[in-house]
Amino acid sequence: MKKKAKTYHILGGGLAGLCAAKFIKEKNKNNNVIVYEAAAHLGGRCFSFYDKILQKEIDNATHVVLGANKEVRKLLRIKDWSNQSYFFDEEKINTHFWRYISFILLSIFNTKACQIPYSAILKLLQKLFPFGTDKRKIYFSKGDLSKNLIEPLRRYADEIKLGWKLNSFQAKNDVVQKLIFNHGEVEIGSKDQIICALDAANYHKIFSGPKFEFNPITNIFYRTSVPLTLPKNIPFIATPNQTADWIFIVGDMVAVTISDSSQLEGIEDEELARKIWLEIREINGIKAAFMPPFKVLRHQRATIKQDKKNNMLRPKTAQSSYKNMRLAGDWTMRNWPCSLETTVLSAKRAIK
């Protein structure tokens, strides 16, 4: 029998909300999908924008996707994977093996390795095993997150309400009956479904969800007058012993990522950019030259802190405490790293 079409109200137009729209339409193309997004743009923590200082389209943060991230790879329209499967100086990795493993875990979980629960590390190992060449391939965003990932998902929504911020709601007998936005109220029909794809902090605020702690990530972008090169002409490098964690080269842009960057809080943008610029020049083998235009982006709540305590606060299933509302989002999957891959999986689970 043909399934009857339903109306789905999606709260949040980040990757989780947009993937939910896709999976709803794939279930039944006659379903009616409405996305409500508080910001003026889609993408949440994953989008690109034109930066006036750098005079270039940049990503809010350089996002790395591994070949092993099957779900997000299906969505990404990319051709230029890097075949580079080494990140470090091989001699160093042999002598400081555990330090490097800790560094990789920090990069994946945005949490100090010693704080990550074993259950989460085990889940990661299961996903990566066996770690063949294809799984090791790397894609990193190049100012194209919106174009390659977010924008193509737009078409799955019948209506996108940008600037619609959910302030509160009304419920009766564990069923959400009304959503109250800054622009007005929306009655929820008896057959309608709600997919809550808000970030963890807003879910806590509006729906009294669990109260998480968060870890920041800092990104710095430099626009150089001529393209910079890294040793052996590789496009990116991990620098575990420096302030910068990862350095990526995209034409005349140098992008730097620093995970769990709380230690940088007291440092002014200019001072931080200068410190890291010196590190880059040293790797590059050229002594300090003047610093090019730069942009520092500090994401205070980049991901939840993925330690044991916060991991246990994550829900076990996608069902919320309201019968007509399911949860999606990177923070909703217990034991999974907060990443694009997990976000897609969470949307799949919510719709299933």
Ligand X SMILES: Cc1cc2nc3c(=O)[nH]c(=O)nc-3n(C[C@H](O)[C@H](O)[C@H](O)COP(=O)(O)OP(=O)(O)OC[C@H]3O[C@@H](n4cnc5c(N)ncnc54)[C@H](O)[C@@H]3O)c2cc1C
Closest approach, Cβ 347 to ligand X, in A, equals 8
Rank residues 5 and 234 by Cβ distance to ligand X and give the closer one: 234
H helix intervals, 213-296: 269-284
**Spatial distance between the Cα atoms of 121 and 124, rounded to a whole number of angstroms:** 5
Q: Which amino acid is at 34?
A: I
Q: How far is the CB of 217 from ligand X (least distance, A)?
A: 4
Chain residues in the site for ligand X (CB under 6 A): 11-17, 36-39, 44-46, 61, 63-65, 165-166, 197-199, 202, 206, 217, 219, 299, 302-303, 329-330, 338-341, 343
Closest approach of ligand X to the CB of residue 189, in Å:
20
Neighbouring residues of 262: CB distance < 8 A, sequence distance ≥ 6? 215, 216
Provide the minimum distance between the beta carbon of 280 and ligand X in the complex, in angstroms, as a whole number.
19
Question: Pick from 17, 14, 21, 9: which is nearest to 41 by CA?
Answer: 14
Closer to ligand X at the Cβ: 267 or 296?
Answer: 296
The closest of 134, 155, 121, 2 to 65, measured between CA atoms, is: 134
Q: Which residues are within 8 A (CB) of 60 and not within 5 positions of it... i.e. 6 or more apart?
A: 43, 45, 46, 47, 48, 49, 145, 219, 297, 299
Residue 10 or 228: the one with the smaller Cβ distance to ligand X is 10
Tell the smallest beta-carbon distance from residue 170 to ligand X (Å): 15
Q: What is the signed CA dihedral for 350, 312, 15, 196, rounded to 10 degrees? A: 50
Q: Is 31 or 141 the residue whose CB approaches ligand X more closely?
A: 141
Cα–Cα distance measured from residue 235 to residue 248, given in angstroms and rounded to the nearest whole number: 6
- Comparing CB distances to ligand X, the nearer of 7 and 202 is 202
Whichever of 19 and 280 has its CB closer to ligand X, that residue is: 19
Minimum distance between the CB of residue 194 and ligand X, rounded to whole angstroms? 12
**Cα first-last separation, the chain:** 18
- Minimum CB–partner distance for residue 113 and ligand X (Å): 17
For the record, the structure tokens of 5 come out as: 């079409």
